[in-house]
Structure 1
Amino acid sequence: MKRIASNINNIFSGAGNRLLAACLAAGMLLSSCEKFVAVEDPPHQLTKEKVFTNDNSATSAMLSVYIDIMNDQYGNAGSFVCFSMSSLAGMSANEMIWTQSNTTAPIFQEYTDHELTPENIYVHTIWKDGYRYIYRINEVLQGLTNATGMTDAVKTQLEGEAKFMRAFCYFYFVNLFGDVPLVLQTNYQENMLLPRTPAARVWEQIITDLKDAKALLKETYPTAERLRPNLYTATALLSRAYLYLGKWEDAEMEANAIIESGKYGTGLPALNEVFKKASPEAIWQLQPVRANFNTAEGSQFLVVGATRPNYELTQAMLDAFETDDDRKQEWVGFSDPVNNPKWAFPAKYKAATGAVTEYYVMFRLAEQYLIRSEARARQGAGKLLTAKQDLDVVRTRAGLLPAIAADQAAVLNAIEQERRVEFFAEFGHRWFDLKRTDKAEAVLKPVSPPNTWKAGDVWFPIPGLEIMANPKLEQNEAYK
């Protein structure tokens, strides 16, 4: 399927034809997996002018972004989100290490070798893919503005999805790189020469897009499964964004809206249900698009037989689990527990090839409990009791007793610990948590070689090829 998409892009290589190429790719890819929507026009009958003249072809333009995100997981140099965030950011946060010696391995163990450079192909892929998605999303938003022949309901839904997805992309960009170019239009010649936008302005756009998305999206999902964003998907990212920005009351309010909606049940499901395709905890999922493949986590993290994992959990990560934590039993695998008990690997996703039984869980309910817990604890003594109650919802699901924490500092430490073991090897949560709480240096410097840790190591480098192409881009300080 990736070859199909590549060939289409070669055929329609002009900038003005990129959206058409995306729609054609969406049509072809959707024909090989369970369809999000029924597309009446055969892909070869689509023309650039027709993309936004009917509901189905316009919907295909948006769906092609989700399809590409999933299809790109299997590239040789990773991708923008999903597996790349779980593995690369996980290595940066000392959750796991890459154990193989080949020269194409991702060099992200900053705490051991500090070899991450602007020439790193994985960093460049993250940047390139992310801006490719943003460009396509901006094309959708522009096309919807001038759309004719679409129903108001579909137009509103697609605008909400596009604004959510743009915020989603920029959330990861600003947390990985800091200041980044803020691209909001489709003039590629202007986009290619944009300087880096201050992170504060990028955050403003993220919040604006998410508020708009909430106003546009409905509580119901457009599909029978949770494969396209709804109102609560935008709310989930908004609550996280407010938490990162220190807007505690707003973070609490948004997380509370999801928890109290009742749409995702009361409490949390069993650990072995969390990452299934029918996960009751999932707020938003992405569906695998390749035949007989589940997730990249399933194919890359899992180990069959007594061989050393490519991605091995660090001893520090294993030691973070309390003795009776069921998550270590359910979500950690050991490839050779007798002879090499340290050969541990992430096992949240348990399916690699064969029938699709697992979808990527992009947002889930446990995070909202921990966001509400932290947001309440940050507001002071008056909300510590309810903060602990939310914390204990997650602990109880893991088979643990209620947290023992008497004051604000202790409760916040307990929440940080819970986030570490709940979200390990999952979309870079630990890496981002260390940075947003200003603890990255305190945690990672002691496990770095002497005199190697630099404060600027909390950011990935701006790809060198991008700086060569755009002289207005400046490199992050640690990589100059």
Structure 2
Amino acid sequence: MSLNKTYIKNNLLLLGCLWLGFSSCKKFVEVPAPIDQMTSDIAFDSDAKAASAVRGLYGLLIGSYLGPTPAINAYGIHLQTAMGVSADEMEPSTTSNSYNEFYINAISSTNSINSIGIWGTLYNFLFNSNAVIENLEKSKGVTDASRKQFLAEARFIRAANFFYLLNLYGDVPMPTGTDYRVNANLPRVSADEIYKLIVEDLKYAVNNLGPAYLGTQRLRANKYAACALLARVYLYMEEWANAEVQAGAVIDVAGKTMYDMENDLKKTFLTSSKEVILQLQQPGNVLYTWDAYNFIPSSVITVPTYLLTDKLYQSFEPGDQRKVEWIRTNTITTAGITKPYHYPYKYKINSGTGTTKTESNVFLRLSEVYLIRAEARTMQNKLSGAISDLDAVRQRSGISLISDKNPGATQSQLLTLIAQERFVEFFSEYGHRWMDLKRTGKADEILKDKPNWRPEAKLFPIPLDDVNRNPFLTQNPGYN
């Protein structure tokens, strides 16, 4: 979807999308008037209406109802699947699979998953976030306390979307307003400038969100969600001390009163999980996550659509409970040949409707924060603290502790151990492995044997329609 089309479309659909929010039973609220009869002044003339708009931002990330069937959005399945098969953790079971171009590193600039499912929807989300920010800043009907809360949430969501665009496409246009005539002709902006905005947005969120969650579940960003995402951003920027501080705010300040590692790994991805910092919930009465719907095969004799690579499967240490609880295997005999097919099983519910949801997509969780701090401390030669953080994840996974078997690990050894821990911890989750390989400079070495691998494959192509429409937007190298 071109940026030009995106902004024109959103001028018509924005308010209807933003009015979609979760009610007390987590269903989308009713829109009291047709979209074309709404004005932004009306949509933001009270705390309640502005709150509905902000809730709608979260709903848009994971999926939205455009009729009787929920539509999948970028955070619903596209990000984790496209980046999962781009890395060395997953592969499609057939070449006809929609994501096969990502697996073979031959993404067409007209690929619809890339252009609409990822690029287009991420820019849609940016437009919606910017619209909420603009309207909150000028609204006279929203109280100051609510304005700060809602602005912080909208800026948190904007930061998350810019983070993924930057790490998928490199330097990208950076719209911060809603004038589609301006946005349609924006040039690329340097990564440093985009990261500066991301940090500003997340700092605002940290300073203006409270520690408590709004609602009974962890579905809207709080102070510690902002700290966790900011810690990740600082890690990617190689600002080790800042990454350590923000991670520490979650681990040490919030402590076990709010978050803790789940020793029973069946509970890690539940809505009741103590490890969850932020989840994205399916709209309406859908009980399943898109991950489970996409990854779990229909029966034990069905080849999974997406397979975990043998490399990942063999990477787990003996006794690792993540291999037991987060992976399932279908063993199938075809033409006399029996073969095991391993697939992700972090989410267990792959069908059904109802009102009581027990699983939602986990966007941020405590184990990532521990591993962020472990890496940040290692880079500052705070090795004993890094080992302690690494062991917090290993201990709950049921494997031997580094403090017992290698307490004198060097900086280089610890970085290798942390990278491996992230590999087996975050597979199939929002592209951690793909982005880790790129940010650490390991992608060319580790992915060199993948089909059609070349250094340029580390970035996805800019959609052709956008390049053709915007004279200031250039294509990524290797896709011309």
Alignment correspondent of 2:288:
294
**Can you list the C-alpha shifts for 1:212-240, whole angstroms capped at 9, x where unaligned?**
11111111112121111011111111000
The percent of aligned pairs where both chains have the same amino acid is 37
> 1:117: Cα distance to partner?
1.8
Total equivalences in the alignment? 458
Letter of the 1:167 counterpart: A
Conserved 8 A contact 1:77-1:122: no
Name stretches of at least 5 consecutive residues in structure 2 with no aligned partner. none
What secondary structure is seen at the aligned counterpart in 2 of 1:335?
Answer: strand
**Can you list the C-alpha shifts for 1:165-223, whole angstroms capped at 9, x where unaligned?**
11000000100000000010111110000011111111111111111111111111121
Conserved 8 A contact 1:174-1:199: yes
Conserved 8 A contact 1:326-1:398: yes
* 1:202–1:223 distance in 2 versus 1, CA, 3 Å: same
Letter of the 1:217 counterpart: L
> 1:73: Cα distance to partner?
10
Alignment correspondent of 1:426:
429
Alignment correspondent of 1:351:
349
What secondary structure is seen at the aligned counterpart in 2 of 1:395?
Answer: helix
Alignment correspondent of 1:144:
136
Structure 1 CA distance for aligned equivalents of residues 167 and 465 of structure 2: 21
Conserved 8 A contact 1:176-1:459: yes
Conserved 8 A contact 1:320-1:421: yes
Alignment correspondent of 2:88:
94
What secondary structure is seen at the aligned counterpart in 1 of 2:74?
Answer: coil
* 1:377–1:15 distance in 2 versus 1, CA, 3 Å: closer
> 1:292: Cα distance to partner?
3.4
Structure 2 CA distance for aligned equivalents of residues 287 and 148 of structure 1: 31
What secondary structure is seen at the aligned counterpart in 2 of 1:204?
Answer: helix
**Can you list the C-alpha shifts for 1:277-298, whole angstroms capped at 9, x where unaligned?**
1111111111111423311011
Structure 1 CA distance for aligned equivalents of residues 171 and 450 of structure 2: 26
1:115 corresponds to 2:106: yes
What secondary structure is seen at the aligned counterpart in 2 of 1:285?
Answer: strand
Moved more, 100-109 or 205-214: 100-109
> 1:46: Cα distance to partner?
5.3
TM-score by length of 1: 0.90
**1:53 aligned to which of 35, 45, 48:** 45
Written as runs of structure 1 = structure 2, the 5 A alignment for 1:105-254 is 105-109=99-103, 113-125=104-116, 126-254=118-246
Structure 1 CA distance for aligned equivalents of residues 290 and 43 of structure 2: 31
Alignment correspondent of 1:370:
371
Alignment correspondent of 1:5:
none
**1:330 aligned to which of 325, 332, 336:** 325
Alignment correspondent of 2:476:
476
TM-score by length of 2: 0.90
Alignment correspondent of 2:313:
318
Conserved 8 A contact 2:232-2:372: yes
> 1:453: Cα distance to partner?
2.6
**Can you list the C-alpha shifts for 1:360-414, whole angstroms capped at 9, x where unaligned?**
111000001111111111111xx11111111011011111011244211111111
1:384 corresponds to 2:379: no
Conserved 8 A contact 1:17-1:48: no
1:281 corresponds to 2:275: yes
What secondary structure is seen at the aligned counterpart in 2 of 1:334?
Answer: strand
Name stretches of at least 5 consecutive residues in structure 1 with no aligned partner. 1-8
RMSD between superposed Cα atoms in Å = 2.5
What secondary structure is seen at the aligned counterpart in 2 of 1:336?
Answer: strand
Structure 1 CA distance for aligned equivalents of residues 111 and 211 of structure 2: 41
Structure 2 CA distance for aligned equivalents of residues 66 and 106 of structure 1: 29
Conserved 8 A contact 2:64-2:71: no
**Can you list the C-alpha shifts for 1:420-446, whole angstroms capped at 9, x where unaligned?**
00001111000000000000000000x
Alignment correspondent of 1:415:
418
Conserved 8 A contact 1:19-1:48: no
**2:303 aligned to which of 296, 303, 308:** 308
Structure 1 CA distance for aligned equivalents of residues 471 and 38 of structure 2: 38
> 1:468: Cα distance to partner?
1.4
* 1:291–1:13 distance in 2 versus 1, CA, 3 Å: farther
Structure 2 CA distance for aligned equivalents of residues 442 and 207 of structure 1: 30
Alignment correspondent of 2:464:
464
Conserved 8 A contact 1:276-1:359: yes
**Can you list the C-alpha shifts for 1:226-260, whole angstroms capped at 9, x where unaligned?**
11101111111100001111111110110011001
* 1:186–1:343 distance in 2 versus 1, CA, 3 Å: same
Letter of the 1:436 counterpart: R
Letter of the 2:472 counterpart: K
